[in-house]
């Protein structure tokens, strides 16, 4: 199967979805409406640009921080509505840390976000390919790389490098250390907290690598995709944009 064929297959299998028995709606235009008003139209074509998508995420994080119970897009009606298709408005790469669930942090519901998570936001072929799928096939106009306070993956990388640990002896975790090591090395000798500096550097380096993607770079150059780095504060629940 050619690359193009595979992409089409993935698009057909993951994005569109087939009409299912027992549901009253089989197309986006006739999808079941949510029972409650929603700020995020469940099946509308994506009309947001990157700035609008970012504003929606920022507003969602403000709701999360304020503990306002306005999560309207997680119920049965929403689930039914998005079962026949999806139009997420942002792709987010975050850490696997159990304290940083992406949808909750941005107060978004079913069908809103393409979420990819790896320890320390480390990139590999699968992670990068999944992000490319989000922006190129699901057409999200925004790609966010979200680092977070006290990231254990970066902390472990610092400790491994300091101990001159042979990463080849640490199973696949060694791969993560190798992937995150450039961020740790970049902040060596800089003032401030070493771990915090490395977390921010890692977000920047990850964005730089993603900008080398032959899928992502042209979208950004054409103004169809906005790339943003961000930092989640465990202490406050706030997401601070880079």
95 binds Zn ion (CB under 5 A): yes
Nearer to Zn ion, 119 or 135 (CB): 119
- Which pair of tokens denotes residue 61? 């994080």
179 binds Zn ion (CB under 5 A): no
Smallest separation (angstroms) from Zn ion to the CB of 81: 33
Residue 168 DSSP one-character state: G
d(Cα 211, Cα 191) in Å, to the nearest integer? 28
Number of residues that bind Zn ion (CB under 5 A): 4
Cβ atoms within 10 Å, residue 84: 21
201 binds Zn ion (CB under 5 A): no
Q: Which of the stretches 59-67, 92-100, 110-118, 228-236 binds Zn ion when contact is defined by CB under 5 A?
A: 92-100
Nearer to Zn ion, 95 or 187 (CB): 95
Smallest separation (angstroms) from Zn ion to the CB of 176: 10
Nearer to Zn ion, 83 or 202 (CB): 202
202, 121 Cβ separation under 8 angstroms: yes
Beta strands at 142-148 and 113-117: parallel, antiparallel or unpaired: unpaired
Would you give the binding string for Zn ion spanning residues 125-164, x where CB under 5 A is met? --------------------------x-x-----------
Nearer to Zn ion, 136 or 199 (CB): 199
230 binds Zn ion (CB under 5 A): no
Nearer to Zn ion, 48 or 95 (CB): 95
97 binds Zn ion (CB under 5 A): yes
| Start-to-end C-alpha separation, the chain | 40
Nearer to Zn ion, 34 or 147 (CB): 147
d(Cα 90, Cα 45) in Å, to the nearest integer? 13
209, 227 Cβ separation under 8 angstroms: no
Which backbone phi and psi does 173 adopt, to 5 degrees?
-60, -30
Name which of residues 11 to 30 contact Zn ion (CB under 5 A).
none
Closest to 57 in 3D by CA, of 230, 216, 201: 230
Nearer to Zn ion, 82 or 146 (CB): 146
- Which pair of tokens denotes residue 150? 């006290």
Strand partners, 230: 146, 241
Smallest separation (angstroms) from Zn ion to the CB of 187: 16
Smallest separation (angstroms) from Zn ion to the CB of 60: 20
206, 154 Cβ separation under 8 angstroms: no
- Residues near Zn ion (CB under 5 A): 95, 97, 151, 153
């Amino acid at each position: 199967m050619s690359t193009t064929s595979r992409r089409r297959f993935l698009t057909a299998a993951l994005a569109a979805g087939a009409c299912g028995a027992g549901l009253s709606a089989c197309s986006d235009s006739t999808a079941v409406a949510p029972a409650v008003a929603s700020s995020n139209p469940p099946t509308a074509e994506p009309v947001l640009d990157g700035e609008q998508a970012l504003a929606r995420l920022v507003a969602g994080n403000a709701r999360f921080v304020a503990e306002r119970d306005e999560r309207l897009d997680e119920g049965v009606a929403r689930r039914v509505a998005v079962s026949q298709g999806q139009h997420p408005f942002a792709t987010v790469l975050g850490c696997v840390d159990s304290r940083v669930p992406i949808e909750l942090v941005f107060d978004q519901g079913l069908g809103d976000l393409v979420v990819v998570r790896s320890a320390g936001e480390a990139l590999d072929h699968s992670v990068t390919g999944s992000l490319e799928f989000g922006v190129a096939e699901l057409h999200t106009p925004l790609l966010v790389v979200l680092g977070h306070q006290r990231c254990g993956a970066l902390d472990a990388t610092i400790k491994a490098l300091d101990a001159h640990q042979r990463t080849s002896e640490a199973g696949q975790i060694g791969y993560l250390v190798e992937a995150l090591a450039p961020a740790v090395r970049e902040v060596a000798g800089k003032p401030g907290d070493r771990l915090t500096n490395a977390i921010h550097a890692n977000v920047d380096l990850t964005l730089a690598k993603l900008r080398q993607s032959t899928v992502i770079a042209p979208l950004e150059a054409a103004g169809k995709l906005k790339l943003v780095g961000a930092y989640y504060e465990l202490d406050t629940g706030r997401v601070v944009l880079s």
